[in-house]
Copies of this chain bind each other. A is one copy, B any other.
């Protein structure tokens, strides 16, 4: 069940998933139907990969605004799959490497995975892996070509693989034909008002009467932004009140909350 999966983080029977677990800094809570649907479909892909003969390689892409929960979902699928090989490929583990060293690293992860009967590879923040910069635009064609080949290359006979990509630069990847290189694409949306309400109820930092107004103000922001604003607001206008708020002794002052939101709002545009 999805919700259970979200609440208690089950120890994986498969690969070591420490890296993956650190991708869910704020845990996993229910935050709307779309997120739930994506998780469920991804778990169906996990099932498909287990039994497929005609498609030894299945690839899916999670795209959506920054902080919408893409990496956390991908990590959760990897953890819940119990596959013997689950690995996340991210730019932060390749800081300072040259383009060709990055390629070599990525290829190595795939080659290691090919040795496992079932494997999942998470390509996190593909735009960052590609060294994408919107002005120009700039990007590494070397890494792009490597990914495009790996997203098509069949694993050896008898080995099946699921690749989950994440990106917040859908337009670039789309116009570059990289989306097309994935079998399926899922859009991970920002929060709708009812989603924000659910999350605020879960956090329990506002008095009941303020939840609706706060959720209204937060709609259109992403999960990560919500957590940030709440944490800033919890400080109080003179600092130091956050402990009292998280322990439930105090509630966030809605006006101070608006004030903070006003500063953070530009990130919404």
A81-89, A90-98, A192-200, A204-212: which lies at the interface: A90-98
Q: Say if the beta carbon of A3 comes within 8 Å of chain B.
A: no
- Contact indicator A134/B47 (Cβ below 8 Å): no
Q: Say if the beta carbon of A145 comes within 8 Å of chain B.
A: yes
A96 and B91 in contact (CB under 8 A), knowing A138-B141, A264-B184? no
Across-interface contacts of A52 in B (CB, < 8 A): 231
Q: How far is the CB of A44 from chain B (nearest CB, A)?
A: 5
A72-80, A213-221, A236-244: which lies at the interface: A236-244
A144 and B149 in contact (CB under 8 A), knowing A48-B231, A48-B235, A184-B267? no
For the complex, what is the distance from the CA of A145 to the CA of B143, rounded to whole Å? 14
Oligomer: number of copies: 6
| A113-146 at interface with B (beta carbon < 8 Å) | 128, 131, 133-139, 141, 144-146
For the complex, what is the distance from the CA of A122 to the CA of B36, rounded to whole Å? 40
Across-interface contacts of A249 in B (CB, < 8 A): none
- Contact indicator A176/B235 (Cβ below 8 Å): no
A170-200 vs B, Cβ < 8 Å mask (1 yes, 0 no): 0010011101101111100000000000000
Interface residues on A, range: 35 or more
| A49-66 at interface with B (beta carbon < 8 Å) | 51-52, 54-56, 66
Q: How far is the CB of A185 from chain B (nearest CB, A)?
A: 5
A96 and B92 in contact (CB under 8 A), knowing A55-B227, A263-B186, A267-B180? no
Across-interface contacts of A29 in B (CB, < 8 A): none
Q: How far is the CB of A122 from chain B (nearest CB, A)?
A: 16
Q: How far is the CB of A164 from chain B (nearest CB, A)?
A: 14
A44 and B149 in contact (CB under 8 A), knowing A183-B228, A183-B267? no
Can you list 6 A-B contacts (CB < 8 A)? A26-B54, A44-B239, A96-B107, A131-B141, A136-B141, A184-B267
Given contact pairs A43-B239, A95-B149, A180-B267, enumerate 14 new A-B contacts (beta carbons under 8 Å): A41-B263, A48-B235, A51-B242, A91-B149, A92-B153, A95-B107, A96-B103, A128-B148, A128-B149, A131-B141, A133-B177, A179-B266, A182-B267, A184-B263
